[in-house]
Amino acid sequence: MSTTLRVAIVGAGIGAEHLKAYLALPDLYRVVSIADLDRQRAAPLVAAAGADYDDSLQAVLAREDVDVVDICLPPQLHKEAVLGALACGRHVICEKPLTGSLAQCDEIMAAAAASTGQVMPVFQYRFGQGLGQLRRLIDTGLAGRPFVATVETHWNRDANYYAVPWRGRWDTELGGAIVGHAIHAHDLLVHTLGPIVAVQAQLATRVNQIDVEDCAAFIIGMGNGALVTSSVTLGSARDQSRLRFCFENLSAQSSLDPYNPGTSPWTFQARDPFEQSRIDSALADYPAHQEGFARQFELAHAALTEGTPLPVTLADARASLELITAAYSSHATGERVRLPLNADHPGYAGWVP
């Protein structure tokens, strides 16, 4: 019999999708509170969960029946919310971007190390079946050495999307398409090919009348020698994400699902056609599993109750912030930035102008 973790969801926007995932895992989680400044926005979630309404994070932290605080607030509020929950010894789940700088991320890492609570950043795109199949082909050695990859985050966002006051601004969204949108595909890249060692990036605001970038082009060098390009826009005719990897023995291409490119179907094509059957048979018994938030939360439950590794760690969030820091720095200087980045890098305290 597993321990049911009691959750408070703070922020009822994407928090609604988190709630669906918890409701799909009724033996693992019970949502006891939905907190939002806007009571009306919280109301459908309160009803669906059979939970209480709270009007603030402070009210949530004053409760004694909350094991996990799930932060779905606008980005500029993440850091203080995470630190506040950790100070109360609660486990924390926090939406992307975790923070607005490497320095803030390191502050959270230090606070987590000193707390009984653990922090899990959200990167739910990792848990698609197709991406899992690629990881199996890599782990078994069938894929071989990676040569190149391309990453596309081609989404469509217009003035309606930017009508939400916190979006499109440095002080509240903490950046543009590389912070809020491409962060997912870039996490998949690092998750698949390992650490980045060099970044060159050019950014532009071409689609919407906003303060932050909505287009970007990256050249990325991976520690294993693979070369990667990433293209980002919020002015695509339709929403589409795509990852394509060329390995020594096979090429892999993701689904085009914008918000779950890790899902099936992926194509895995052997370079030597006579080897195709080895790839196909290696995947024949790949088990079906939940995807997205539900899979991440399912694995998190095991981590928080049985001590298995968290499915997404603060180090993963830090890697995503390191790429963002490097990209803004490269754009500003026109130079290639070498990673890892530490406290001596000029962008360590933040990229927000």
Interface positions with ligand NAD (CB under 6 A) = 10-14, 35-38, 41, 56-57, 72-75, 77, 95-96, 122, 124, 164, 180
Using the minimum distance from each CB to ligand NAD, give the nearer residue, 138 or 179: 179
Using the minimum distance from each CB to ligand NAD, give the nearer residue, 10 or 327: 10
Question: In this structure, are residues 322 and 103 in contact, taking their beta carbons and an 8 Å threshold?
Answer: no
| Terminal C-alpha separation, the chain | 51
Cβ at position 36, least distance to ligand NAD in Å: 4
124 CB-near residues (< 8 Å, 6+ apart): 292, 293, 295, 296
Angle CA 296–147–341, to nearest 5: 60
Using the minimum distance from each CB to ligand NAD, give the nearer residue, 173 or 226: 173
Largest CA distance in the chain: 63
Cβ at position 146, least distance to ligand NAD in Å: 26
Neighbours of 274 (CB within 10 A): 7
Place of tokens 């079946």: 129
Cβ at position 74, least distance to ligand NAD in Å: 6
Cβ at position 173, least distance to ligand NAD in Å: 8
Using the minimum distance from each CB to ligand NAD, give the nearer residue, 35 or 317: 35
DSSP strand pairing (146-156 vs 250-253): unpaired
Q: Which residue is nearest to ligand NAD (CB)?
A: 13
* Half-sphere exposure (Cβ direction) of 233: Cα atoms closer than 13 Å: 11
Neighbours of 4 (CB within 10 A): 15
Using the minimum distance from each CB to ligand NAD, give the nearer residue, 149 or 177: 177
Cβ at position 187, least distance to ligand NAD in Å: 10
Using the minimum distance from each CB to ligand NAD, give the nearer residue, 211 or 227: 211
